[in-house]
Structure 1
Amino acid sequence: MGSPSRLVRADLTADALFPLVRATFDAIPETRTGPSTIPRGDALLSAFAMFSLKDPSLLAFDHRRRDPNDHFRTVYGITRVPSDTQMRDLLDPVDPAALRPAFRDVFRRLQRDHVLDTFGYLGGQYLISVDGTNYFATTSDGIHCPECLVKRNRVGVVTHYHQMLGAAIVHPDHKEVIPLAPEPIVNGDGHRKNDGERNATRRWLRAFRRDHPRLPVLLVEDDLAANAPHLRDVRAARAGYLITVQPGDHKFLFDALFADDAAGRTAILTTVDSDTGIVRHYRSHHGLSLNESNPDTRVSVLEYWEWSAVGDLQVFSWITDQPLTPDTVYDVMRGGRARWTIENETFNTLKNQGYQFEHNYGHGKKHLSVVLAVLMILAFLVDQAQQIGCPAFRAAWAACGTKRSLWDQIRAVFRLFAVTSMGAILRALADRSVCPPLVPHNTG
């Protein structure tokens, strides 16, 4: 079907997706027992709007709340916007797992509109890049919460920090990604024992399969995932795997590779790209034990060398359960290298392109920091859906030049002009002639 960024889908505009997100928020059971003047759905959607607008802090968003306009109602469907203190209080008790349906419902919209067709790979599977990342760290005693992870260095300095296990559907030919519901890596034992990426991945796999029981997927992961317990978890989740391995971390496996090669049991393929001059050399191995402790855990291994036209060399290796034949090794190699997409197009975007992923929006006494981080990733998913299927979004982005400039100008129009939808804002940025002249608010 071609690049997803060429698609045009009315259901993938912000104006179609915001009500969908609101519906999932409204479905979260209310746990407050006393009277409330602000519905929890309004509080959740207000935090989502803060990340949709890329406000750099809760304080900046609170100033916007006082602007003399009704854009939060007309653009986002928010009846009452809480103050920064009210937002913290309302969101702190929310279980982050309660936000998973929002990701699932946006994903189903993408699925229904055939966006996923363009992401199919290796026989119709979907590559899911999974990795952990830090999004907050401080040595200040006063800035932390019960879910902070804790580490102490050799001189006794204590650092509180947060991590998240992120996951996104990726494709070697696409810059867009489809973020899936993340899994928090949190301290669940009163600061006595930190959670870890391996446990978070196990939880994520189970939750993913509950949300998407029939989706054919192939996990692409880093070297830390190349262990027998994780491979058993992957098989239990009915998923495939394509995992980086390094000689220094898997001596037993690489000794077996050398023995295989010396005995002539290795399948070898070398190709030369006539257009670029790139030389590609593949060695495939089958049925090798992953390590000495797990001889019954058998894997296939793809080794890959690539020389550029000027002689620069790159070397990669992966374990996999995918067929390795002369017809498949090129695609397997590209799928394995797509693992970096979650770092380059997801974490880097969240940290460096206006989303302020590493900013401390608040900690609270329970889940506040995690809830806000999950809502930020949800806003990123909605932005990616617009980038794929909304021509007005792509036109406004092109007119503004960069994503940061786009976010800046969306905030400016949102604050200063009379608009009734996000679509109107985007069309105004792309071409002012396609909508009525913008009328400044009377701020006198």
Structure 2
Amino acid sequence: MPKKKMKKKADWLTKTKKRKMKKKDRGIVEIMMLTHHFFKELPQWLNEMTDPRHPSYTIYSQADLVLMGMLKNMCAVKSMRSMEENFNEDACIATLRILSGDQELSEMPHADTLNDYLERLSPQCLAEVRKKMVKSLIRKKSFSRSRLLGKYWRVIIDGTGLFYFREKNCGNCLVTTVTREVAGKEVKLKRYYHKVLEAKLVLAPGIIISLDTEFIENENEDVSKNDCELNAAKRLLERLHRDYPRLPICLQGDALYAAETVMKICRGYGWKYILTQKATRQKALAESYEWIALGGGAKTVKGIGKEAGAGEYINHVEETAGKEEEADIYRYWYEAEEDGKRVAHEFQWITNIELTKRNLEEMVEAGRGRWKIENEGFNNQKKGIYNIEHLNSRDSNAMKNHYLITQIADIVMQIYLSYSPLRKEIGQPIKNTSSRLLESFRRQTVTDEDVSYISRYTTVYLE
């Protein structure tokens, strides 16, 4: 007999109970408390950035502007115009005044004021603020239990397209050729786009934050997409090592990064790696693995993973394949019922972590977790609350800064979603949580009692 699924608490709460719980929700106060708890110095960090504006014409602090941009993202406000309309409330002004520490703030900044500022601000400034936030989280040791094998911080890298144009928007546009039917004939047309390579840090099963960003910009119209992304990866990895020299990293990526150049970089930095293995990418390794496995050289472990599938591994395949970099290869497979049919699924990875029967299951789960950057990273940011493909400005520099503000906001938002008592109790969807946060920001006045609650030491329990 199959086990009956236990009902979630949200399933047996009455509608009346849910309404009462929602009335007690003070989302914006919780956001302020968490920001103060984890990033107490955030307003100071923002105001310490190199200000591109002339002091004589400065009305708003840098913290005012960036925090307003962060709230736009967290409240799922899609456009700059909508931000102006939604944030034009006395409660919003009062809350931003407390958040930024700017006691002179009397009006919310205009959307054009924010864009003008972001057009001139160096993206490196916001990247430095993000770095301080990440280091603050790592130092608190709140997330140490999620490290791979109790030691390694998992860093997942992947690229995605952000903006697409029919005509060249700026000098940083990448170009691709598409085939379209025009007047009954196939015509090749150039299309322009912006792309980004993102490194995400896995803090917990449901918290995956931006660690670093490399904007992939036009090098040469003849450079292939893959070459562009690999070159960007080299720059990104070099900067990660410079910024976090003592952080024990396990790099994860798709088959594009399963190249000896990337593996060599990891060895030089003392990092571990788990990379998707495909025969088309590392043919010699794939053939050597199959040859050794056919000869009985592979070790198998059954009944692992949430599907109770089977795992298999062979260490040091590089010795047979004649490769220089360590290649311990493992795979996982299982069958599942889909549309009345048994469907087989198989995954394979390459690593430089010595594989054993004891660590194989954790390594499989880590390898499959690479999808998190797509499912909980880019997909959520594109289709969820942030809508990162929306063009807030056509200026290339402002585009970068808007993207970085989204990543900074997402760090706070993911912590809030993991903490939110209302979301835990009633199973509220993320989009609804953002909608309620906007309503809280617009309607709720932050009292002196709230300020006292925000400032005092609080133990924060995350999922």
Common topology (TM > 0.5): yes
Is residue 31 of structure 2 the alignment partner of residue 31 of structure 1?
Answer: no
User: What CA RMSD, in Å, does the superposition of the two structures yield over aligned residues?
Assistant: 3.2
- Conservation of the 8 A alpha-carbon contact between 1:278 and 1:307: no
Contact 2:52 2:117 in 1 (8 A): no
How far residue 350 of structure 1 moved from its aligned partner, in angstroms, is 0.9
Q: Secondary structure at the match of 1:297?
A: coil
How far did residue 26 of structure 1 move?
1.4
**Residues in 1 aligned to 2:31 and 2:51: alpha-carbon distance in whole angstroms:** 32
Give the TM-score, by structure 1 length: 0.81
Q: Which residue of 2 aligns with 1:5?
A: none
1:175 equivalent to 2:200? Answer: no
Contact 1:304 1:316 in 2 (8 A): yes
Gaps of 5+ in 1: 1-8, 428-444
In structure 2, which of residues 310, 317, 334 is the aligned counterpart of residue 306 of structure 1? 334
Distance 1:23 1:160, change over 3 A: farther
> Identity percentage over the alignment?
22
Letter of the 1:163 counterpart: K
- 1:219-259 Cα distance to aligned partner (Å, 9 max, x none): 11100001111112222232110100112333222221222
Q: Does 1:134 align with 2:146?
A: no
SS at match of 1:82: coil
Give yes or no for contact 1:136–1:161 (8 Å, CA) kept in 2.
yes
Number of residue pairs matched?
Answer: 406
| Residues 63 and 346 of structure 1: CA distance in aligned 2, closer, same or farther (over 3 Å) | same
Give 1:298 deviation, angstroms: 3.9
Q: Cα–Cα, structure 1 residues 213 and 260, in superposed 2: closer, same or farther, change >3 Å?
A: same
Partner AA of 2:368 in structure 1 = R
Paired residues of 1:185 and 1:200 also in contact (CA < 8 A): yes
Q: Equivalent of 2:435, from 402, 408, 417?
A: 408
C-alpha separation between the residues in 2 aligned to 1:339 and 1:214? 23
Cα separation, 1, equivalents of 2:178 and 2:141: 50
Letter in 2 for 1:223: A
What letter corresponds to residue 153 of structure 1 in structure 2?
V
Aligned letter for 2:136?
R
Aligned-residue offset at 1:378:
0.9
Q: CA 1:361–1:175 in 2, change beyond 3 Å: closer, same or farther? A: same
Partner of 2:363: 332
1:132: Cα distance to partner?
0.9
Write the deviation string for residues 84-142 of structure 1: whole angstroms up to 9, x where unpaired: 22211111122222212222222233223322222111241111111111222232x38
Q: Which residue of 82, 89, 96 corresponds with 1:72?
A: 96
**Structure 2 match to 1:63:** 85
CA spacing shift, 1:158–1:180, aligned 2, 3 Å: same
Residues 220 and 243 in structure 1, CA contact (< 8 A), matched pair in contact too: yes
Give 2:267's aligned residue: 235
Name whichever of 177-186 and 378-387 sits farther off.
177-186
Matching residue within 113, 119, 122 for 1:86: 113
In structure 2, relative to structure 1, the CA distance for the partners of 1:231 and 1:420 (3 Å cut) is farther
Q: Which residue of 2 aligns with 1:20?
A: 41
Q: Does the aligned pair in 2 maintain the 1:241–1:320 contact within 8 Å?
A: yes
2:448 and 2:292 map into 1 onto residues whose CA distance is 63
The alpha carbon displacement at 1:337 in A equals 0.8
Paired AA for residue 58 in structure 2: T
For structure 2, the 5+ residue unaligned runs are 1-29, 180-186, 455-463
Per-residue CA deviations over 1:3-58 (Å, capped at 9, x if unaligned) read xxxxxx99970344565332222121123456322344433332222223221111
Letter in 2 for 1:319: I
- Give the letter for the 2:178 counterpart: N
In structure 2, C-alpha distance between the alignment counterparts of 1:102 and 1:261, rounded to whole Å: 49
Tell me, yes or no, if the aligned pair for 1:43 and 1:91 is still in contact at 8 Å: no
Q: Contact conserved, 1:286 with 1:299, CA < 8 A, in 2? A: yes
1:153 paired with 2:191, answer: no
